[in-house]
Chains A and B, each alone.
Chain A
């Protein structure tokens, strides 16, 4: 191959211009690799073109490399800012409203709970007051009954004095023979031990015959003190004995607490 003739053909100038076909390009590359003279010629042609094109820029300043491949962290910082801005303000308002209503609902729920509790407490208080009113009414009725009986001219007051078993004890029996009722006042009796109740007896003396008028259950400081009982007997005396719970058929005389005769 005649290298000088090849160079003189002008194909290398077209190669640098990029005007050759793909196969021609490969051919020139192949020859340039094979013949340093051709490679040298190509580089000189390119140099001439570089001189021409550089001069064509007329000393105009080329853009800074920074604008082509940004390497500073600032440019990477800018990127995440955009998605944040994209969030519409309505989203924030929406969330704020949801939060506001949530808090509001919770507050109202608590208020409702408080009110319900207050109502319950008030209802309980009313119940307690009603109970105490009705128990007061009962107490007043009882007291009025006793007072009425005491005032009645047919009522006989029988004092029952303490006996050997309980010298300190005393009791009173109000006996209305017309209505055939007795009220037993157990104020002076000690509280009975567990498993025992007082029992009141109507006695006729000759011969001594006891008749049970009833069991005085739950006698004591917190229990009953006034007992209303029927008495159809021609009683000459009343006695109170301590008996096992529920009472006995006949009085246990060893446990006779109080005794009193109806005769003046």
Chain B
């Protein structure tokens, strides 16, 4: 079934459609949260919260605001970052830096690829530190182009082109 049809049915309150969308994107959202929190149990809890919120706010999604996955991504990273800033994570707040995300993407330990997906190390193969940095900020932290430009102290146009090149490397690794 077409993803757009599923999204329409989901917005009309179809639990079955929502379940299919969850099968499609659940693991990705869990991955995003896990990158931010680096706590498997909390990540699972926040992932559940995120999809409960998605179900409750189904009507708020609008294609004019962007891709459905992007909408999910935005809700997930906001929830994860909120959790990160909460009391239980205050001890680690110092680590809420760019390096933190880079570290996560650089980590190669316990990287066991599942049968139907490519392993993280394969996806990140040959990716420069600058790329990990910019991908972390844009996709996992939800920075705007301008915020990235200021954080990394590079021109606005460079943000776009550098990011495109970095994504191109990942696409190459994934044969996309």
Using a CB–CB distance below 8 Å, which chain A residues touch chain B? 8-11, 13-20, 22, 25-26, 29, 42, 44-63, 65, 67-69, 71
Contact = CB atoms under 8 A, between A and B. Distances in A.
A47 B123 CA distance: 12
Interface string B16-33: 001100110111111110
A54 B160 contact: no
A49 B66 contact: no
Nearest to B135: A52
B74 A18 contact: yes
A65 B163 contact: no
Interface in B92-109: 104-105
Contacts of A15: 66-67, 70
A46 B69 contact: yes
B34 A48 contact: no
Interface centre among A14, A15, A19, A47 (most CB of B within 10 A): A19
B136 to A, nearest CB: 11
Contacts of A54: 27-28, 31, 117
A13 B167 contact: yes
B145 A14 contact: yes
Contacts of B34: 56-58, 60
A21 to B, nearest CB: 8
B113 A55 contact: yes
B30 A60 contact: yes
A9 B160 CA distance: 7
Nearest to B138: A17
B30 A18 contact: no
A50 B25 CA distance: 8
B117 A55 contact: yes
Nearest to B35: A56
B85 interface: no
B46 to A, nearest CB: 10
B163 A10 contact: yes
Interface string B111-128: 111100111100110000
Contacts, number: 165
B63 interface: yes
Classify chain B's interface size.
35 or more
B117 A69 contact: no
Interface of B: 15, 18-19, 22-23, 25-32, 34-35, 40, 43-45, 47-48, 51-52, 55, 63-67, 69-71, 73-74, 104-105, 110-114, 117-120, 123-124, 135, 138-139, 142-145, 148, 159-164, 167, 170-171, 174, 176
Contact of B47 (A29, A48, A63): A63
A50 B65 CA distance: 19
Contacts of A42: 67
A46 B117 CA distance: 15
A179 B123 CA distance: 155
Given A8-B164, A68-B51, 14 more contacts: A14-B145, A15-B67, A22-B65, A46-B69, A50-B28, A53-B35, A54-B28, A54-B117, A55-B119, A57-B28, A59-B112, A62-B22, A62-B27, A62-B30
A62 B19 contact: no
B149 to A, nearest CB: 11
A51 B139 CA distance: 13
Contacts of B28: 49-50, 53-54, 57
B15 A19 contact: no
B125 to A, nearest CB: 12
A59 B116 CA distance: 11
